[in-house]
Structure 1
Amino acid sequence: MSQFGSEPVRDPGDLGFDKPRLARLKRWMQRYADTGRWPGGAVLIARHGELAFFDCAGHADVEAKRPWQRDLIARIYSMTKPVTAVALMMLYEEARVHLDDPVETYLPEFKNRQLLIPDATSLDQTVPVKTKMTIRHLLTHTSGLSLFTNPGILGEAYAKEKLGLALAYGGLDKMVCRIAELPLEWEPGTKWQYSTGLDVIGRIVEVVSGMTLDKYFATRIFEPLGMTDTGFSVPGSEISRFPPLYEAMAGGMALHEAPKVSEWRQGKVDTFCGGGGLVGTIDDYWRFAEMLRAGGELNGERILSPRTLRLAACNHLPGDLASLAAEVWSETQFDGVGFGLLGSVVLDPAKAQISAQVGDYGWGGAAGTFFWVSPVDDMVVILFTQLLPSSAIPVRKELRALVYGALTGA
């Protein structure tokens, strides 16, 4: 294993990559920066546990012309979700939770849920839910919960109250209680819809473990893995490493000021959203993803067993997302892609129309961050940038094409 944060110690050719083809990645990143379509970013590729590629392009702060650097602490938003899922699966391995447990077993506020009637015009137009929501429903986004990006009156209610989005809501317990008060949009298990399910999972982790989610992450995951720059806030001494957030606009991009950089300071965050609250460095996330690739262990620290990890990384839907998904935005395409407990899972690259291996799994974040693990190619790929929304430019499909186009050997 090469040292995290160091330059590559192996020639990419020794890891199966065509070096000139791999060099296309730098030019690709620089082109987006030069044309003003994103501020800047970084790509990291590791194979067989060795770093095959790392490079940056563009700026962390466009106005100040501060270049993107490897040690930047970025908002990873929904790339928090796989971390929260791992936290839950650690409790699963201890037989303290089960995937088919009703959510109300741990959170009584989820008893007697109500379901919005079709074409409801107000949140009180409901009928009783027939199916009890389970932990598996939460992990796989089939719970019937909504999200602040979803359309309709329920999505609007989530957005208005910043459910799953607030840094300061008075605590995750309060946020989840409010989520429980709102009706469901679908019967649990009948539709896939991107949701606040992982925020609720985070609260279950708190209840079962007796620790707040930030403490659980720190002591059970981050410290063992050496993820020293990852957390729910940025220490005041490190705020200079925390770049501005940009938003794509017609013809370019502009600063996105909500929430401001200062709101992420340590001491100001009191709500630890399991669905999207983390910030961290690309090397820290490499440690997490490398643990997944290596079967649940990194440098002698075991987080999950290989068998539990295989369970979490396989498709838990009856088919692909297209067969079950509501017509809402998500971090992934639907055709040929399933969903596991850790994120999306490639089922059919041809149907998905992406360069991939069957079984590739991973997820992305709203500010354009993205990662995947390829069990077949024994590979981890991570992209970091800070541009909203993640769909602004097609970097994820293009990154896949570039990486798999450069991987020519065993």
Structure 2
Amino acid sequence: MTITALDSAALSRRALFRGGSLLAAGAALSGLPFGRALLAHDVSEAWPNVAAMANRYVSERKVANMFLTFGWGRESHAHTVGGGTLSLARPTPVDEDSLFRIYSMSKPITGMATMILIDEGRLALDQPLHDILPAFRDMQVLVDPEGPLEDTVAAERPITIRQLLTHTAGLGYQIINKGPLLDAYNQAGLVGGRVSRMPIPGFPPVTPAPGLAAFADRLAELPLIHQPATKWSYSCSIDLLGRVIEVASGMAFEAFLRQRIFEPCGMTSTWMQVPQSEAARLTDNYGIIAGNAFPIDPGVNSIFLDPPEVPAGGGGLVSSPRDYDRFLRMLLGYGTIDRVRVMGQEAVRVGTSDLLPATVDTTGSWMEGQGHGAGGRAVGQSFGWGGAAGTLAAVDYGLKLRSTLFTQYMPSEAYPVRDEFLAAMEADMVAMRAKKAA
């Protein structure tokens, strides 16, 4: 089964970091002298409120695991808080090498892959998409996003790479569309990720398009829901960028990610398809119904052990806390990690900044009062995104802090984890600042 309403519109409504309040709480914390205590791998004592939140969710069996990482600056390893097990039924503890479905946390990775090609001159930020994929030259736009597919007007401007990176191209999404366009996306197999081998009541099965090229071609045949560069609307644009990357680079999308990001970053546990030899590390994913957790994708028989029909840059990756922290450390190092140059410094600076077109109206959207960079939210000096199964990751350049939260349940708004995490982290950082001032 593919991602549908399980990845609902509420997933990303909350800011990853309430930039102003956290910066006020954490000013100058990057230089805080933790002493030898910080050398310990588990740093629950330094983050007592975060640890209490994670331990409560696990001890009450609301989730099988809640594992968080915090890394300051370019230090070579992140420190951990929380824990749990791979499954409510399996006693194996989670650690930094356990595997989690990161879903939309794939988006910043695809965004940075795009920035690499922009930095190399093989793409341009404001280049028309039809230069790369000619089928998108003459797009139509629905008069009513929920209305008949025949009731359209011509697009007033071309879709650009910037718009794809920032969800402002006017494209739809299987998890956002309604009415005839949703039916058309389902019939065309325009899905953004996978959930389970098992049928889930209320969600009809959808056969994904046979590959990225077919995904892009079928998408080009359907109308947009908004005029390009006018509104922010969560979309399949990052999935489409996978095909753009293929054409611009001359490499298969997955191969490009591996060669240009995963291998130089030392990310050895990030895949679209988890090798069978690594299945024992894969967590179970749960559906939350009336406060109870039911397994919808057991790790030992996960759909992510199969090759994906469409390698979805917007929601298709499985990764580990160690790997994703390495990606964040590369971003915090402005493109370098362990003295290896992965991306150009300017490519990272631009990619993690607010790239929203000036003509875009964010009123009433998840981005109101915020910014959006290359595949992730940009607020103040922070950049990051979350995933449909409850995961969260961000870098904060002001605090020189990189952080992740890993758990596995859907839909993520079933529990107020994001709000509780932000409140707990803020409380702990206030205490750290007070301790430093004492």
Instruction: Give the TM-score taking structure 1 as reference length.
Output: 0.86
Q: Whole-Å Cα distance in 2 between the matches of residues 301 and 255 of structure 1?
A: 40
Q: Whole-Å Cα distance in 1 between the matches of residues 189 and 339 of structure 2?
A: 40
Q: Deviations for 1:122-164, whole angstroms, at most 9, x for unmatched residues?
A: 2222221111110001000000001111142224533455423
Whether 1:173 and 2:209 are equivalent positions in the alignment is: no
Q: Whole-Å Cα distance in 2 between the matches of residues 304 and 294 of structure 1?
A: 10
**Matching residue within 216, 222, 240 for 1:200:** 240
1:21 Cα deviation after fit: 5.0
Q: Deviations for 1:183-220, whole angstroms, at most 9, x for unmatched residues?
A: 10000001000001111111111001111111001111
8 Å Cα contact 2:163/2:356 also seen in 1: no
Gaps of 5+ in 2: 1-33, 195-207
Whether 1:301 and 2:340 are equivalent positions in the alignment is: yes
**Matching residue within 395, 405, 411 for 1:373:** 395
Aligned 1:8-407 pairs, distance under 5 A: 11=36, 20-50=45-75, 51=77, 53-118=79-144, 120-153=146-179, 154-159=181-186, 161-166=188-193, 169-257=209-297, 261-265=301-305, 268-317=307-356, 323-324=361-362, 333-346=366-379, 358-407=380-429
Q: Deviations for 1:364-408, whole angstroms, at most 9, x for unmatched residues?
A: 111111101000000100111111122222222222222232232
Aligned to 1:6: none
Structure 1 residues 170 and 64: CA distance shift in structure 2, 3 A: same
- Give the letter for the 2:176 counterpart: N
Q: Whole-Å Cα distance in 1 between the matches of residues 358 and 39 of structure 2?
A: 37
Aligned to 1:3: none
Deviates more, 1:250-259 or 1:94-103: 250-259
Q: Whole-Å Cα distance in 2 between the matches of residues 27 and 19 of structure 1?
A: 9
8 Å Cα contact 2:164/2:241 also seen in 1: yes
Structure 1 residues 162 and 29: CA distance shift in structure 2, 3 A: farther
Structure 1 residues 257 and 21: CA distance shift in structure 2, 3 A: closer
1:242 Cα deviation after fit: 1.3
1:72 Cα deviation after fit: 1.2
Between the two structures, name the one with larger relative contact order (CA 8 Å, sep ≥ 6). Answer: 2
Structure 1 residues 55 and 162: CA distance shift in structure 2, 3 A: farther
8 Å Cα contact 2:284/2:298 also seen in 1: no
Structure 1 residues 261 and 137: CA distance shift in structure 2, 3 A: farther
1:326 Cα deviation after fit: 5.9
1:56 Cα deviation after fit: 3.4
Structure 1 residues 20 and 54: CA distance shift in structure 2, 3 A: closer
State how many pairs are aligned: 383
8 Å Cα contact 1:164/1:199 also seen in 2: no
- Give the letter for the 1:276 counterpart: G
1:14 Cα deviation after fit: 8.6
Instruction: Give the TM-score taking structure 2 as reference length.
Output: 0.81
1:246 Cα deviation after fit: 0.6
Q: Whole-Å Cα distance in 1 between the matches of residues 323 and 184 of structure 2?
A: 34
Q: Whole-Å Cα distance in 2 between the matches of residues 259 and 163 of structure 1?
A: 25
8 Å Cα contact 1:319/1:338 also seen in 2: no
Let me know the Cα RMSD of the aligned residues. 2.7
- Give the letter for the 1:165 counterpart: G
Q: Whole-Å Cα distance in 2 between the matches of residues 119 and 46 of structure 1?
A: 43
- Give the letter for the 2:227 counterpart: E
1:102 Cα deviation after fit: 0.6
8 Å Cα contact 2:97/2:320 also seen in 1: yes
Look up the SS of the partner of 2:405 in the other structure. strand
Q: Whole-Å Cα distance in 2 between the matches of residues 173 and 119 of structure 1?
A: 25
